[in-house]
Structure 1
Amino acid sequence: MISFLHVSDLHFGPPYHEGVGEALQKFAHRLGPDCIVASGDFTQRATEEQFAAARAWLDRLPRVPTIVTPGNHDVPLYRGLERLLDPYRHYRKHISDTLDQVTEIPGAVIVSLNSTAPRQAITNGRIHRWQIDLAREAFRNLPDETLRIIVSHHHFAPPPDWEGADVMPKAKRALDAFTAMRVDLILGGHLHRAYIGNSLDVYAGADREHGIIIAQSGTSTSRRGRAREREKNSLNVVRVGGGVIRITHYMYFDDAGDFVPTSRHLFFRRGRPPVLDDDEGLGHGVESIFMDDRRERRDATV
């Protein structure tokens, strides 16, 4: 079993909520994940002070591999000359000197792609062909059981409510390429509310039979949530094992002072026969998932 903590859109600066940030720290240490993914927008206005605060917060998380990628708020918006000449100066100093990177952990390969485009499109972002080639090379000749994950800040699929729904240009091209690479999961942010589903929900794709699981995190520590997560905070916990990907969506509630699970999503990995254990009360074997379906059919025939 591999576990991931997926957070996004921390927005250090005026929108950052210190109380929620501290609750997330406690949550992370209770969870004890194998890997942490932080999918961009570490700051509100890409100042060095905000990046330093974000770095200090990241350093307090559990000491496990941490995957990062910049967001559109991590490049200067109003400091035009800096945005044109050296947009990632503070990000490289405080968060990561590498903008696109491949990380290997036992059982998984994670490719984080920098989707920001400070000189082209501040809001919507871009994924270029050379980045798709980088992912293709990283996933080449991997064993079937190895999990393949893409991380980017901007979204490849629109949210279910379609508020602020514009995806990256040529997102469908990227989804087709990732599907051919047998990518299992895409993790992202930017939307400021969660979306967990499959690429086939919104795009049939060149491959009509296989899609990619997409999990967007809301804003985890700011009060800039949108739509149904307005002024709310959320994160995702991903657990993978036995050919099954389980994603639990958590939201922060003031009365609980903590992140509380609000939904669970279960997917079977492509080409992997599912074998569920009883570690989360799911019963012995995949048969337990369909027990209610069989009972309903039996009752209907009586």
Structure 2
Amino acid sequence: MRLLHLSDLHFGRLASQTIVADLLAEARRQAPDLVVVSGDLTQRARPRQFQAARAFLEALPAPWLVVPGNHDVYPWWRPLSRLWRSLARYRHYITQSLRPSWVTDTIALLGLNTAHGATIKGGRLTTEDLTYLQTFFAAAPPQALRILVIHHHLVHLQDIGPHDVVRDARQALEAVAQAGIHVILCGHLHIAHVAPVLLQPQWQLLVVSAGTATSSRGRGPHRHQNFYNLLEVTPQTLRIETYRYHPEARTFTLTQTQTFERQGAQLLLETAQTG
């Protein structure tokens, strides 16, 4: 099972149409089984930006699963719409579902919304979503790799430096551990990073953060750089490849490969790393 993980497209003023075209060509080359987009499809949640994002999704060579980000919420200068109709445009142009899922014998993947009008840059998972998360993964095939897709981070990653996490992050992490989730795919920070996080003495979570795929706002060590992740899942292993865009050559090149071995229902233990 091959998953192409994109994030922070920011269609609008920030998205490069050249990179968009090259990313579509790269997606066709990689031939994924599913494309996952972990939020911020637009820059200001405007209709034309959502239309451009939708056209991009429809041009992808595989089915796609998408969650919204904070930039997909009505902007702050529309306060009433932001509070009461925060994702109306997202749901009109992209998808009605705020809990998209994909289940096979190999993976059980659930997307949840962390972008709400009452927050600015930060996010949160509602109590209802945490309850649904438990129910969804309880019904998943026992051998499946359990993946949660959200926009914001649930845990602070020391290697990245200071950054925000969702409200009530501890409660959310407890639900994640109880549900036996192996991997979180997220974005928001515009930094490509893979980090194991020990939630409990016997349970390790893998946080896979994608850099911005097409915008000009890569941050930190990835300033002005664009990335995507490719995940290859088998019953025995998970391989994560990180690709960086080179504008001069208009190509994406592999910058890092990490391979993890699964041990029964347990989370992954890193076995190899290159790059």
The CA distance in 2 between the partners of 1:254 and 1:159, in whole Å, is 29
Pick the structure with more strand per residue.
2
1:215 paired with 2:208, answer yes
Q: Could you state the TM-score of these two structures normalised by the residue count of structure 1?
A: 0.84
The CA distance in 2 between the partners of 1:185 and 1:153, in whole Å, is 13
**Unaligned segments of structure 1, at least 5 residues:** 275-285, 291-302
Aligned equivalent of 1:268, options 253, 258, 261: 261
User: What's 1:281 paired with?
Assistant: none
Contact 2:106 2:235 in 1 (8 A): no
Superposed counterparts of 1:219-258, under 5 Å: 219-258=212-251
User: What's 2:186 paired with?
Assistant: 188
1:142–1:161: structure 2 CA closer, same or farther, 3 Å change rule? closer
User: What's 1:282 paired with?
Assistant: none
The CA distance in 1 between the partners of 2:140 and 2:83, in whole Å, is 38
Superposed counterparts of 1:43-54, under 5 Å: 43-54=42-53
Which secondary structure does the structure 2 equivalent of 1:198 belong to? strand
User: What's 1:6 paired with?
Assistant: 5
User: What's 1:31 paired with?
Assistant: 30
User: What's 2:174 paired with?
Assistant: 176
The CA distance in 2 between the partners of 1:98 and 1:35, in whole Å, is 17
User: What's 2:96 paired with?
Assistant: 97
1:212–1:82: structure 2 CA closer, same or farther, 3 Å change rule? same
Contact 2:10 2:214 in 1 (8 A): yes
Amino acid at match of 1:41: D
User: What's 1:155 paired with?
Assistant: 153
The CA distance in 2 between the partners of 1:160 and 1:219, in whole Å, is 20
Moved over 6 A (4+): none
User: What's 1:139 paired with?
Assistant: 137
Mean Cα deviation higher: 4-13 or 142-151: 142-151
Which secondary structure does the structure 2 equivalent of 1:45 belong to? coil
Mean Cα deviation higher: 72-81 or 12-21: 72-81
Contact 1:192 1:217 in 2 (8 A): yes
Amino acid at match of 2:87: Y
Mean Cα deviation higher: 179-188 or 42-51: 179-188
Contact 1:3 1:33 in 2 (8 A): yes
Q: CA deviation at 1:131?
A: 0.9
The CA distance in 2 between the partners of 1:108 and 1:30, in whole Å, is 22
Contact 2:6 2:210 in 1 (8 A): yes
Contact 1:175 1:199 in 2 (8 A): no
Contact 2:104 2:144 in 1 (8 A): no
The CA distance in 2 between the partners of 1:105 and 1:223, in whole Å, is 35
Which secondary structure does the structure 2 equivalent of 1:52 belong to? helix
Contact 2:143 2:235 in 1 (8 A): no
The CA distance in 1 between the partners of 2:78 and 2:203, in whole Å, is 43
Superposed counterparts of 1:57-96, under 5 Å: 57-62=56-61, 64-77=62-75, 78-96=77-95
Per-residue deviation, residues 137-168 of structure 1 (Å, max 9, x unmatched): 11114333212110000011234444441211
Q: CA deviation at 1:47?
A: 0.5
**Unaligned segments of structure 2, at least 5 residues:** none
Amino acid at match of 2:121: T
- What root-mean-square deviation, in Å, do the aligned CA atoms of Structure 1 and Structure 2 show? 2.0
Q: CA deviation at 1:243?
A: 1.6
- What is the percentage of aligned positions where both structures have the same residue? 36
The CA distance in 2 between the partners of 1:98 and 1:240, in whole Å, is 25
1:128 paired with 2:89, answer no
Aligned residues: 269
Amino acid at match of 1:213: L
The CA distance in 2 between the partners of 1:169 and 1:104, in whole Å, is 28
Contact 2:108 2:141 in 1 (8 A): no
Contact 1:243 1:273 in 2 (8 A): no
Q: CA deviation at 1:49?
A: 0.8
User: What's 1:280 paired with?
Assistant: none
Q: CA deviation at 1:272?
A: 5.5
Per-residue deviation, residues 76-121 of structure 1 (Å, max 9, x unmatched): 22221221221112101111111123322452221101001212x1
Q: Could you state the TM-score of these two structures normalised by the residue count of structure 2?
A: 0.92
